[in-house]
Amino acid sequence: MTSTVRLGEQARVAALDEAVSLDELRLAARNHGMPLEALRDDLTPPGLHYLLVHYDIPFVDPASWRLTIGGHVYSPIELDLAALTARPRVETVVTLECAGNGRARLLPRPVSQPWLDEAVGTARWAGTPLAPLLRESGLLDGAVDVVFTGHDHGTERGVEQDYQRALPIEEALGSDVLLAYEMNGAPLPPQHGAPVRLVVPGWYGMTHVKWLRDITVLASRFTGYQNAVAYRLRADADDPGEPVTRILPRALMMPPGFPDFMTRRRIVDAGSLVLRGRAWSGRAPVVRVELSTDGGQSWTDAALGESLGRHAWRSWSARWDAIRGEYELCVRATDEVGAQPVDPLWNLQGMANNMVQRMAVTVR
């Protein structure tokens, strides 16, 4: 495993006193999170869903687009968009989150896209299930991984690549995995993978390969960059680490009151108000959301709203009798496996940091 970890240069970690670099700022200006006031909506309005694009957004002509399915199969398949959309159609509401969400809250800070809390969004995806297509291709015995390749091309830490991610065959055959061609009732926008992307409900965003062009079944483990190097929980450069897979639990709060432009500190009028937000987990159903108004020292249960589906966020609400003063509001989700950590779990590449949200509030 060590040899594949060395594929490319090592991840850089900022010095303890090192502030955000021009490289990180350039990524932050291109990519964007979901402004947290959009937690108001079940489905994130178009243009507000978080967006992370590794290289450039490729503009793929839907008329000439083809999807090939091959590798360790008996009958390779080639489909155009008309053939794909003529297949059985499924709709599903899915909360997507970037595996790097929370990275810029780590200390020291791994240097990459510098997300704080907001790399999330929920959409209604429509597409056709992947599993029947894989079965029609005649999977041969011994299939291990399925590699999904996009049209996006670039270099990362010295490794030139088309964006590629593999899923274990048993995950790729999951009944909820889609080849999606619509987002919220419209064709996919270019930045979300037009004309077709993979949707793997419950998994972090790197899995949902955009601008999909090829699916290749392997009889061995995939050792490409995005699986073997990038999206892993590594303690240091010598640690091959564990793969990043399903989304860990997280709750976020709609910011109450109104903000200060520069600091985003919230100003709230004293009185009784209802705090609201959303919670989700790709690992197991969310069973509890708790609110703290004292920076995480004490917690009270919030009420959970209706579920929108197993892989969609769930609303929560909690009444707060706000008295004049300075507060740090925190919220944390617990799923059937466990709770969000109050303090972050550091790793070399800043992956899957689901530490609790902290929001500075002045009650006047």
Q: In the complex, which residues of this chain contact its own copies (CB under 8 A)? A: 18-33, 35, 37-38, 40, 45-49, 51, 53-57, 59, 104, 111-112, 114-116, 118, 153-157, 160, 189-192, 255, 258-264, 267
Q: Residue 152 or 335: which CB sits closer to its own copies? A: 152
Is there a contact between 231 and 54 (Cβ–Cβ < 8 Å)? no
Q: Rounded to the nearest whole angstrom, what is the least distance from the CB of residue 14 to its own copies in the complex?
A: 9
Q: Residue 20 or 86: which CB sits closer to its own copies? A: 20
β-pair type (232-233, 303-304): unpaired
Q: Rounded to the nearest whole angstrom, what is the least distance from the CB of residue 121 to its own copies in the complex?
A: 11
Q: Residue 255 or 277: which CB sits closer to its own copies? A: 255
The sign of the dihedral angle between the CA atoms of 125, 128, 132, 138 is: negative
| CA 317 – CA 309 distance, rounded (Å) | 18
Q: First-to-last CA distance in the chain?
A: 57
> What distances in angstroms separate CA 15 from CA 20, 116, 349, one per listed residue?
10, 18, 14
Q: Rounded to the nearest whole angstrom, what is the least distance from the CB of residue 316 to its own copies in the complex?
A: 19
Q: Rounded to the nearest whole angstrom, what is the least distance from the CB of residue 358 to its own copies in the complex?
A: 12
Q: Rounded to the nearest whole angstrom, what is the least distance from the CB of residue 88 to its own copies in the complex?
A: 28
Q: Residue 37 or 336: which CB sits closer to its own copies? A: 37
Q: Residue 74 or 258: which CB sits closer to its own copies? A: 258
Q: Residue 34 or 134: which CB sits closer to its own copies? A: 34
| CA 51 – CA 193 distance, rounded (Å) | 11
DSSP sequence for 135-159: HHT-BPTT--EEEEEEEEEEEETTE
Q: Residue 59 or 74: which CB sits closer to its own copies? A: 59
Question: How long is the chain?
Answer: 364
Q: Rounded to the nearest whole angstrom, what is the least distance from the CB of residue 322 to its own copies in the complex?
A: 17
User: Can you tell me which residue has the tokens 């793997």?
Assistant: 200
Q: Rounded to the nearest whole angstrom, what is the least distance from the CB of residue 137 to its own copies in the complex?
A: 30
Q: Rounded to the nearest whole angstrom, what is the least distance from the CB of residue 41 to its own copies in the complex?
A: 8
Q: Rounded to the nearest whole angstrom, what is the least distance from the CB of residue 7 to its own copies in the complex?
A: 14
Q: What are phi and psi of 278, to 5 degrees?
A: -135, 155
| CA 103 – CA 113 distance, rounded (Å) | 8
Residues 6+ apart with CB under 8 A from 126: 89, 90, 91, 178, 180, 181, 182, 183, 185
Cβ count within 10 A of residue 300: 11
Residues 6+ apart with CB under 8 A from 341: 354, 355, 356
Q: Residue 116 or 133: which CB sits closer to its own copies? A: 116
Cβ count within 10 A of residue 270: 12
Q: Residue 24 or 182: which CB sits closer to its own copies? A: 24
| CA 342 – CA 200 distance, rounded (Å) | 28
Question: Which two structure tokens, joined as six digits, stand for 83?
Answer: 């053939």
Residues 6+ apart with CB under 8 A from 2: 238, 240
